[in-house]
Every structure is written in structure tokens, then in C-alpha cells.
């Protein structure tokens, strides 16, 4: 399983590579380099998928993110979703500063999945300026996912 970042209603939680301190990146500032609250080192751009832990966190991110948001709808029991995880993580890394990649577990976050009328997984949605601009589904290599994101 690839590493993902956690989130709450106020932002994305990211560890400082220099000192390990957990820092919250406000959703409105995901396109900027942050600074560690402890050691003052620059934090890297968000370059890993962010696990959505609540509808409130999801709503805050969608409303405040200056970057497009790519959503991976998945579940632990889904084989193709497990195969997709490293590709999604690779796409998130390649698009750091260009888009935010988030993961929505359809078993745990049924309310969010319901908003998008998800029928089968893995499924993906692209949100720009708070609006759904595209949806697709099925396994996608990172390069194809990025091409879909950039042309939508």
C-alpha cells in the first residue's frame, strides 16, 4: 500500500522531511510551499495522495483548493483499486503543485461517493473551482490519468 497523507476539516497533514513534525497545510494554500512550524524548513509541495477522512474535510478541500482536485474512489476489497494505488501515487507525485490527488474509500465515505453516483470502482473525478469537470473509471496508468486530468 502506498503512503498517503491524512486530512481534517482545516487542511492536509504533512510531516516535515527535516524534523518529522506534523504540519497542517491549509486547503487554500496547497499550491504553495509551506514552512515547518518547528524547524522553519521549507515543506515540499503536496506530492502524495490525501486520504479523505470525513465529508467535512472533503467539502472544505473542494471549496478552498486553488488547484484542481483528482479523486480516486476505491475500497480495500477491490483488486483493481489495489493495482491502481501505486499508479495514483505516482501521478500525485508527478503533478505536485499542479493538482491535489485525494483518495475516497467508498465503504467508509459512502456520503461522498453518493454525491458522485459512483457505480463501479476504481473511479475518478476531476474537480476544478469546486465543480465536477470530468469523470472516468477503470485502471489507468499514471501517464494516462495525468493526460486525462490535463485535457479535461
Q: What is the CATH number of the domain that holds 110?
A: 3.40.30.10
pLDDT, tens digit, 9 for 90 and up, residues 43-76: 999 999 999 999 999 999 999 999 999 999 999 9
User: Is 97 part of a structural domain of the chain?
Assistant: yes
pTM: predicted TM-score of the whole model, two decimal places: 0.94
Query: Where in the sequence is the domain holding 118, given as residue range(s)?
Result: 46-151
pLDDT for 4 equals: 79
- CA dihedral sign of residues 47, 106, 56, 71: positive
Give catalytic residue positions.
Answer: 78, 81
Q: Is 104 exposed, middle or buried (0-12, 13-18, 19+ CB in 10 A)?
A: buried
User: Is 8 part of a structural domain of the chain?
Assistant: no
Residues 54, 58, 59, CA angle at the centre, nearest 5°? 115
pLDDT grade for 1, boundaries at 50, 70 and 90: very low
Contact 5, 46 (CB under 8 A): yes
Q: Does position 38 have pLDDT exceeding 80, yes or no?
A: yes
Total domains, the chain? 1
Amino acid at each position: 500500500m502506498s503512503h498517503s497523507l491524512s486530512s481534517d476539516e482545516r487542511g492536509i497533514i504533512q510531516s516535515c522531511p527535516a524534523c518529522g513534525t506534523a504540519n497542517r497545510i491549509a486547503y487554500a494554500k496547497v499550491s504553495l510551499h509551506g514552512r515547518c512550524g518547528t524547524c522553519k524548513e521549507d515543506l515540499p509541495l503536496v506530492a502524495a495522495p490525501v486520504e479523505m477522512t470525513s465529508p467535512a474535510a472533503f467539502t472544505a478541500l473542494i471549496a478552498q483548493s486553488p488547484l484542481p482536485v483528482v479523486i480516486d474512489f476505491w475500497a480495500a476489497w477491490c483488486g483493481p483499486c489495489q493495482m491502481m494505488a501505486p499508479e495514483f501515487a505516482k501521478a500525485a507525485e508527478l503533478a505536485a503543485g499542479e493538482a491535489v490527488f485525494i483518495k475516497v474509500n467508498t465503504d467508509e465515505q459512502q456520503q461522498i461517493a453518493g454525491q458522485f453516483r459512483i457505480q463501479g470502482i476504481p473511479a475518478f473525478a476531476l474537480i476544478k473551482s469546486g465543480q465536477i469537470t470530468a469523470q472516468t473509471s477503470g485502471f489507468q496508468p499514471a501517464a494516462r490519468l495525468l493526460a486525462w486530468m490535463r485535457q479535461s
